Amino acid sequence: MWRYWKIIISFIVLAPLFFFLGAVSSKLDISHQTVIESAKLIGLEFSQAERDSMLAGLEANRQSYQKIRETTIPNGLPPALNFNPIPQGMKLEKEQQAIELLARKIAVPQNFEELAFYSVRDLGELIRTRKITSLQLTKMYLDRLKKFDAKLHCVVSITEELAMRQAQRADDEIAAGNYRSPLHGIPYGAKDLLSVKGYKTTWGAMPYKDQVIDANATVITKLEEAGAVLVAKLTLGALAWGDVWYDGKTRNPWNIEQGSSGSSAGPSSATAAGLVAFSIGSETWGSIVSPSTRCGNTGLRPTYGRVSRTGAMALSWSMDKIGPICRSVEDCALVFQAIIGEDGLDQTLVDVPFNYNHEIDLKKLKIGYVKSAFESDYDNKKTDLSTLEKLRDLGAELVPIELPDLPIRSLSFILSAEAAAAFDDLTRSNKDDLLVRQIKNAWPNVFRTSRFIPAVEYIQANRLRYRAIQEMHKILQEVDLYIAPSFIGNNLLLTNLTGHPSVVLPNGFNSKNSPVSITFMGKLYDEATLLAVAKKYQDATDFHLQYPPAFN
């Protein structure tokens, strides 16, 4: 008897919920056919009984989505889930050692504008010894920005007032014996996804072309503390894709008929053309590697969680990384030293020392190379094989390796899902129609299609990503670093997913006399070894000392 009473009581208690869900479902058009068609998008089938059970829950979920959409979520607000690239058992370095640089004696050229292509290291020495002033150098770079931007379309805003103020302060401080760092008084440009107080931060996209974020990004603050001088905010492909922004296409200084690639299009173009001494770019999937290759620069993509992203446009919270684009490996080391470290805001940051030593002995290292990639048939294979031969000549032991056998390309929708969330309001407002690029392979369409990525598959992809991290750790226990062709195979996507650092640098020219590159890959948080080895190779070549003739 009591069993029947329990059934009756349960019905009384649950009936209002069933009635509510059923009533909501009947008002809207989630039907068996809706579920049948939607299931095709995720490659599943459900029986009639299963679909019948799902309808009320699907509608309840949809109501929850709507409630969330009624709450403002700015681009800079991160998810509560932080990506952690540290594999099981990895021990992190703790002791910071002094970084020593080779002493240099640098003379001022007769033609002052030749300084446009000097390294940060050499410019810094001229400023430190007061052979030139920051004001002189800043005025020269400002003039070049104004002169050549019409050809390159690499500038969003020239920050002249700020630059002159910072340059004068640098000169006053140095004259008073207060030398901050090798970047003191050095003019630079920043990708326009980094906020700067008093200037627009457009993200390269028409819907945001008048946006002003009244705060400095952490990277901008750290560079100011190092004494660097911001002369320009530089272009990026709209919302960090490609080289097309709301006011045109940024050009490659080696061939102005060609785009500079992206998304760090402006930083790479301006650095290669001698319009800034160095620049700050960012990478999620190739946005430092690709434009640095196209324009013949040296670019560092740091380990995930090394450089604060506070004040930077978010595209993919688990993949975005900020790093320098320079004219040499040593310059990358100097800039990197200035911008790393915690800021109390970006919770992905890991406090690990940067113990760079240019006197590294290649004979004591094992350098891996991705054997199958170098053996495949691809453009620029000859220059890449020459890089391996040069390293052997320098005494390096080269060890063949292979990367994890996992469906890496199939994990790329992790980026798409996060990007769609970052710009959810843009899609729902239909302001994505304002973006210049509207082809199928562009953000507006990617954001729309990404809304159909199931949360379950996103989690599954990240589980495979975890496996990739563990397998990469095993590989990098056998070698100190490794080398890969910049764009062959899955290395570029794989290491952006696992968070590993890379240095891309010029290693020759193709048949059209355009720069080509090679990529050095390091262990997590070991930019010191990575940069030191890359510098040994670069010092033995002169590709980084050749500049686009039209701007030289």
Provide φ and ψ at 466, rounded to 5°.
-60, -45
Give the pTM. Answer: 0.93
What count of other Cβ atoms lies within 10 Å of the Cβ of residue 345? 12
Domain assignment of residue 87, yes or no:
no
154 with 252: CB under 8 angstroms?
no
Residue 181 belongs to domain with CATH number = 3.90.1300.10
32 lies in which domain range? Answer: 2-69
Judged against a pLDDT cut of 70, whether residue 2 lies above it is answered with no
> 26 pLDDT exceeds 50?
no
Q: In Å, how far from its chain's centre is CA 284? A: 4
Tokens of 68: 């969330």
pLDDT confidence of residue 15: 46
Q: Is it the case that residue 336 has pLDDT exceeding 60?
A: yes
pLDDT at 128 over 50: yes
Task: Report how far residue 174's alpha carbon sits from residue 34's, in angstroms, rounded to the nearest whole number.
Answer: 70
Q: For residue 263, is the peptide bond before it cis, meaning its omega torsion is within 30 degrees of 0? A: yes
Task: List, as one string, the DSSP characters of 360-416.
Answer: --GGG-EEEEEHHHHHS--TTHHHHHHHHHHHHHTTPEEEEE----S-GGGGTHHHH
pLDDT score at 500? 98
Tokens of 116: 């446009």
Tell me, yes or no, whether 63 and 175 share the same domain: no
Dihedrals phi, psi of 203, to nearest 5 degrees: 55, 15
Structure tokens at 105: 């004696």
Establish if 306 belongs to a structural domain.
yes
CA distances from 475 to 301, 401, 467, 470 (A): 20, 8, 13, 9
Number of domains in the chain: 2
CB 156 within 8 A of CB 204: yes
Note whether residue 433 is domain-resident.
no
Q: If pLDDT is split at 50, 70 and 90, which confidence band does 28 have?
A: low
Token digits of residue 428: 């729902």
Alpha carbons 543 and 552: distance in angstroms, whole number: 15
Q: Kindly report, residue by residue over 421-461, the tens digit of the pLDDT.
A: 999 999 999 999 999 999 999 999 999 999 999 999 999 99
Same domain, 48 and 137: no
Q: Do 152 and 205 belong to one domain? A: yes
Sign of the alpha-carbon torsion through 334, 335, 336, 342: positive
Q: Is 205 helix (H, G, I), strand (E, B) or coil?
A: coil
AA identity, residue 527: E
Query: Does residue 460 sit in the same domain as residue 400?
Result: yes
At residue 547, does pLDDT exceed 70?
yes
Asked whether residue 84 is assigned to any structural domain, the reply reads no
Q: Does residue 42 share a domain with residue 180? A: no
